[in-house]
Amino acid sequence: MDINFEGKRILVTGAGRGRQLCKVLAKSSPNVKVVALSQTQANLDSLKAEFPNVETVCADLGNWEETRKAVESVLPIDLLVNNAAIAVLQPVLETTPEAIDDCFNVNVKSMVNVSQVVAKNMKDRKIAGSIVNISSQASQAALKDHLVYCGTKGALDIMTKVMALELGPFNIRCNTVNPTVVLTDMGRLGWSDPAKAGPMLSKIPLGRFAEVDDVLGAIIFLLSDKSAMINGVTLPIDGGFLACFGQAFVKDLVEQGAIVYAISRTASKLDELKTKYPSIIPLLCDLTQWNEAEKILTENLPDDIELLVNNAGAASVETLDELTEDGVNQVLNINIKGTLLTTKIVAKKMIAGGKGGSIVNISSVGSDFPCTFLLAYSMTKAALNRLTKTLATQLGPHKIRVNSVNPTLVVDTTMGDFVFDTDEKKTMLKTITPLPNPTTEQDVSDSVLFLLSEKSKAITGQILFVDGGLHGG
C-alpha cells in the first residue's frame, strides 16, 4: 500500500517513547516535516542528531500553558499523533490523588490541549486533517494495579469519539489505536519472565505480543488518506485479546501483484472482470448450494492460498410485516452460510500450508445502526460481526487473522443507489454523518487492503467501521 506524506507537517507528542514513529515518518517522504515534542531535551537532541530534518520542541505536557505555547510555536500542523502517556501503578486501596492528577494531566488533559490548538489551526486553514490518539487495550480490559491508567485510557477512547463527531464536519478525523503489550526495549524487559508473560499470552489468539512495527503500521494508515472514511474508531492492536465491494477489491489486489481468484454465481460479471483484469482466475460458483460450492472451491482454490475477502452479500428489503421465509433464507444463505463455507475451505488450506493468512469479512454499519426496511440484512451483519470474533479466536493459533470491514452505504454502487434513490434520502445520510464526504468503494477497498497486509499483522477479531464517524456518533 503506497502511503505518501509529501509536504505534510506531522506533530508527535511523547517523542521520547515515540522515537521509532518519528524515524519512520521522517523517512516516509522526501519533503515531510516531523515535529517531535518531548519534555526530555536529551531525547530530542539524540533524535535531531540522527535525523537533522526533524523539528524539535521541548515542553512539559503536564503544564497547560507551557504546552499550549510550545504547540502554537510549531504551527501549522497537518497530522497529529498524541502519543504521550505515563502510568503510575498502585492498587485500588492505595491510589493517591497525586497519581490521579499526574496521569490525567498527561494522558487526558494534554491530549485535549494539544488537539485544541492543532484542530483549530486545521479548521482555520480548511484542510483535511487526521488525529491519532494512542490509547491501550487497558481502556477495555481491566489490569491489576492500573486503576488510574485504565481510567485515563477509557476516557481517551470516548473523548476521541466526541472529537470525531464535532470535528468531522470540518474534515478532521479522530481515531485511536489500542495496543496490547508492545515489545519495545522496556516492554521486552518488563515481560521477559515467562511466569508473567504466559497468562497474558494465553489470552491472545495470535500467541504473541505486538512488535513496534505492528503499532506503527496502524498509526500510519490512520494518519493517511487511505483511511479517509474512518473516523471515531477504536482500533485494538492486540492479536485478538479483546475478541475472546467487489470490483474495487479485485482491481487493487491485482495492482498489488496478487493472484486473484474471483468467485461469483453470475457468469456475465466474471466475464466483465476477466476483460478488465485478464490475470484473474474466475470461478463460477453459487455459494447458496453448499455441497456443489464446497466441491468447486476445494478442487479449484490453490493449496497455498493466503488471503480471503468474503464480499458476497444479499439484502432483502422488507419491514417486519413484509418479511417472508424466502427473503430471510436468501439473506442467511449468502451472508452467513456462504461466508462460513468459504472460510472453512480456505482456512483448512491455510492451516495445512502452515504459513497463516488473513481473512476479511465485509459486514456493514447496519450491524449496529438499525434500518427498519433491512431487518434480515441487519441481523445477518450483526451475526457476521460475532462470527468474525469467534473465528479470530479459533484460527489465531494457526497465524490466521480474521477481521471485518463495516461500511456505511457506498455511493455509486447498486445497493447505495437502490436505498438512497432520492436527494432527500442522500441529504438525510449526510446530516447524520460527521465527515462531509460520502463513502466510496475506494475507501472500503483501502481498508480491506490494510487488513490483508502485513501492516496489520497484530490485528485480529476487530470490527472496522468505514462510515465517516456515523457509528462513533
What CATH number has the domain bearing residue 164? 3.40.50.720
418 has pLDDT over 90: no
Q: Point out which residues pair with 212 in neighbouring strands.
A: none
Cα 127 to Cα 18, 123, 169, 450, distances in angstroms: 25, 7, 11, 24
- Both 334 and 419 in one domain: the answer is yes
Domain presence at residue 350: yes
pLDDT grade, residue 415 (50/70/90)? low
Could you say which of 146, 179, 212 is where a domain stops? Answer: 179
- Both 321 and 450 in one domain: the answer is yes
- Both 166 and 260 in one domain: the answer is no
Q: pLDDT value at position 307?
A: 96
Q: pLDDT value at position 80?
A: 98
Of the two residues 409 and 96, the one the predictor is more confident about is 96
Q: For the purposes of burial, counting CB atoms within 10 Å of the CB of 215, is it exposed (0-12), middle (13-18) or buried (19 or more)? A: buried
φ and ψ of 301, to 5 deg: -75, 140
**Ramachandran region, residue 435 (left: φ > 0; alpha: ψ -120 to 50; beta: rest):** beta
- Catalytic, 399? Answer no
- Both 336 and 457 in one domain: the answer is yes
- Both 175 and 247 in one domain: the answer is no
Domain presence at residue 438: yes
Domain presence at residue 196: no
- Both 147 and 247 in one domain: the answer is no
Could you say which of 137, 155, 179 is where a domain stops? Answer: 179
Q: Taking the model in full, what pTM does it have?
A: 0.77
156-172 average pLDDT score? 94
Q: Point out which residues pair with 271 in neighbouring strands.
A: none
Residues 421-467: pLDDT tens digits? Answer: 566 656 666 666 787 777 888 888 999 999 999 999 999 999 999 88
- Both 351 and 430 in one domain: the answer is yes
Active-site option among 153, 161, 381, 457: 153
- Both 171 and 310 in one domain: the answer is no
- Both 456 and 345 in one domain: the answer is yes
Q: pLDDT value at position 186?
A: 67
> Helices 441-452 and 246-255 sit at what angle, rounded to 10 degrees?
50
Q: pLDDT value at position 51?
A: 87
Residues 92-121: pLDDT tens digits? Answer: 899 999 999 999 999 999 999 999 999 999
**Domain boundaries, position 102:** 9-179
- Both 32 and 166 in one domain: the answer is yes
Cα 373 to Cα 159, 266, 370, 378, 379, distances in angstroms: 32, 26, 9, 9, 12
Lowest-confidence range among 191-200, 265-274, 371-380, 450-459? 371-380
Domain presence at residue 78: yes
Residues 317-366: pLDDT tens digits? Answer: 666 667 777 878 888 888 889 999 999 999 999 999 999 999 999 998 88
pLDDT grade, residue 394 (50/70/90)? very high
10 has pLDDT over 90: yes
Q: Taking a C-beta distance cutoff of 8 angstroms, is the pair 108, 154 a contact?
A: no
- Start-to-end CA span in the chain (Å): 29
pLDDT grade, residue 233 (50/70/90)? very high
Q: For the purposes of burial, counting CB atoms within 10 Å of the CB of 424, is it exposed (0-12), middle (13-18) or buried (19 or more)? A: exposed
- Both 370 and 455 in one domain: the answer is yes
CB-based contacts of 458, cutoff 8 Å, min separation 6:
179, 180, 206, 208, 210, 211, 214, 215, 237, 238, 239
C-alpha 268, offset from chain centre: 34
Q: What is the CA radius of gyration of the chain?
A: 23
Which of 218-232, 263-277, 435-449, 456-470 shows the highest mean pLDDT? 218-232
H helix and E strand count, the chain: 18, 13
Could you say which of 147, 179, 211 is where a domain stops? Answer: 179
Q: pLDDT value at position 285?
A: 93
Active-site option among 33, 109, 149, 251: 149
Number of structural domains the chain divides into: 2
Of the two residues 432 and 35, the one the predictor is more confident about is 35
Q: pLDDT value at position 369?
A: 72
CB-based contacts of 289, cutoff 8 Å, min separation 6:
none
68 has pLDDT over 60: yes
Q: Taking a C-beta distance cutoff of 8 angstroms, is the pair 468, 275 a contact?
A: no
- Catalytic, 377? Answer no
- Both 79 and 163 in one domain: the answer is yes
Degrees, nearest 5: CA angle 360-364-369? 145
